[in-house]
Structure 1
Amino acid sequence: MIIDQSHPISWTPIERGADGRKVMRDPALTKPFLYHMLEWRYAKLIFETNRLRLSPVRCWQDPYERWWCDGLFNRPGPLSGFQPYGSCWTTGAHDEPRWRMAGFGPDKETPIVRIRCRADAMVNAARSLIKSSAGSAFLGRVQYRGERTLLHLAKSVADGSKKEVTRMAATMLLHKRLAFKFEDEVRLLWLDKKPLREGVYIDIEAKTFVEQVMITPHTTPTETANIKQEMKSFGVPCLASGVLLPPR
């Protein structure tokens, strides 16, 4: 596996199945809780459908992510033919700027909420997925590197071994530029060789998978009250962020 040996990811096998299916976890991920910010309309859909969506990395809007994905998967080499999907989370729970970055933009139709789940629950959900789908799942922390290092890593993939190729792909997808270090990002990744589709869905029991919903402080009292009311039917604690309230 071709990676920068000063910062390797020593993946821990969680479960292995037939046809090379596996679930792997980054042992450096030690914090128990993970957080994900998304529009309320999408969070509500998770509870209504009991499914967690992993979106195709090739279609992520961030131009850096597209550039990195193209460099890894869209040229001859051991990663050719693989389709990567992912869901982005964070270990950061107390930073107000996260609400602003996630919540403002012309495409936002509903307020932002933050869902919280346990890393162990995410691993267990991935274990259920490999029982019904051919592919591999990885849960790991993003590592932040200088741009020259990233370019060197992307170039070296073409010469990499064909053994443990999904592990190499996941390792590469857990690299970003140093400018993004503040994100403290964690990713749940899925790799398979099926034709590209609009997402990979993991069946979950949403009311136990999600332990808490928190509403952005940048919303109106009416919107906050409406979301709390709707959440009552799902039986999951729902709070409004108090990060902008004056000290008592």
Structure 2
Amino acid sequence: MVWTNILVPVLGGDKDAQILTIAKALAEPFDAAITAVYGSPSAVSLFNWGGEGSFGPTDIAIATLQKSTERGQARCRELLADIGYAKTRFLAVTADDWTGLRFATRLADVVIWERSVTRGHGFFASAFQQILLDERRPAFIADKPLSPGGTVGIAWDGGREASRALRRAVPLLRDAARIIIFSVPHAMAHPCDGSLAIDYLADRGIKAEAKILHTTGDAGPAILDAIREVGVDLLVAGAFGHPRLQRFIFGGTTQYLLENQSGAALFLSH
């Protein structure tokens, strides 16, 4: 199992250079292609926003938008070339329901997101949720390139989302120096000590160990404390295992992991 296509939504801003560098570090071990997808609002959306009978956008406003889009695309192409990676692609899509971006992600092995987007801020915030939850494309979130080796933590409850995340993260796990499977019995619907996950990885020649976290509180803080203590470089976790309404009202472990700083990169799968 290898990755062949790593996708990065871009806007032509200052943060794109960093996220493309992260993509390069992730793609190189697999000789995978990097697909940069530029997103922009469309002229149609401006008219819809203006509304019938209002002082909607003029031809000048539409022309300004088109010029801005052209500049953004050109900047993204420059940044993509600057990383010095041979296997790159560039696509441009509009923000109308994110149909174009969603379509592009369907053949991507992982999508790299800038961290503030995953916390609900910025142009791609709604696209992040749609692509992670509806398209079920794994998300990678990091502040710097992931170095080879290192320590990987796996948040494990035996559930569907955690199992899918583990399976999809196997390419990342093969070069890890240490893999720790964290279980929080208090927060589990069914007892699970991580032994099945250890066996699954062992069948693929990957060695892992289990660590049970004893707490009477929520799983999120316990996991974050554990990965800080151990020095985890990457945390693999299932994303949003509870129904959306329940998450909206009560939050959840995934939201806690996204909103809190641990220093570790995140690999999430729904």
Tell me the TM-score normalized by structure 1.
0.23
Tell me the TM-score normalized by structure 2.
0.22
Specify the structure having the higher radius of gyration (Cα): 2
Q: Name which structure has the greater RCO, CA cutoff 8 Å, separation 6+.
A: 1
The structure with the largest strand share of the pair is 1
The structure with the largest helix share of the pair is 2
